[in-house]
Amino acid sequence: MRIKKPYKIIVIGLPKTGTSTITVMLRMLGYEVSGPEINFIKNDDDELFLRYEQANAFQDYPWCFEWKQFCNMKNVKFIILYRDRYKWWESFYNSYGKQGVNYLSYPYFNMPKNKENKSAFLEFYDTYYKEARKHQRENPKNFYYTETLNLSWIELCEFLNEKIPRNLIGRISKIPHANKYNYKRKRSIVYSIINYGKNSFIRLFGLSNYRKITSFFHKNRI
């Protein structure tokens, strides 16, 4: 059963700007987070708004590109998440092993992911965040702007009017940094075993219960 929250949250942050980390943080606060929506087709607004009703927080594709459609709605808050633009490009370029036009967010970037287009992608990045900051200045109460490296439970919880998560001994939970070691881990036998256990748990008990368990472990990591 979804926990009722006073706000819906949309993360304004391009893929590879720390969206996996903020997803874990929001789940630790009890939000049901949607995204990336790998089967979504651009311009299908009926499907977009249908999915909007099915969760209370949204990140990555397509939400990070469609966020302006929700700016005038009541009880919606926005988290602008950014990182160094050159580090973003390096991470984005190397992500998922897919270049050319075979990457999820191609319908919005609308250009092949290759080294020749680096300047064009960086220009897209600059324009994207310039527009987000403009909306923040116009409505500062509903926008929280932070660099991924500076994510803070204190600032995030103050913005969302949530209690700061603490572990079983009362200490503030650590920031999860969800994908920090994923590349190396995914190449290990241990990771393969853990991933098999994860998939087996999901088949038996469902994705929702898996997320509750992982949120508990993240919250109580000492």
Q: Which residues contact 155 (CB under 8 A, 6 or more apart)?
A: 144, 146
51: in domain: yes
The predicted-structure confidence for 49-84, as pLDDT tens digits, reads as follows 999 999 999 999 999 999 999 999 989 999 999 999
How many domains would you assign to the chain?
Answer: 1
Decide if 213 is inside a domain.
no
The secondary structure of residue 169, as a DSSP letter, is T
Asked if residue 132 belongs to a domain, the reply is yes
Q: What percent of the chain has pLDDT over 90?
A: 63
Domain span including residue 131 = 8-180
d(CA 213, CA 181): 20
Judge if the upstream peptide bond of residue 15 is cis by omega within 30 degrees of 0: no
1 within domain boundaries: no
- Give the H/E segment covering residue 10: strand 8-12
Look up the CATH number of the domain holding residue 39: 3.40.50.300
Note whether residue 37 is domain-resident: yes
pLDDT bucket at 181, cuts 50 / 70 / 90: very low
Average of per-residue pLDDT values in the chain: 85
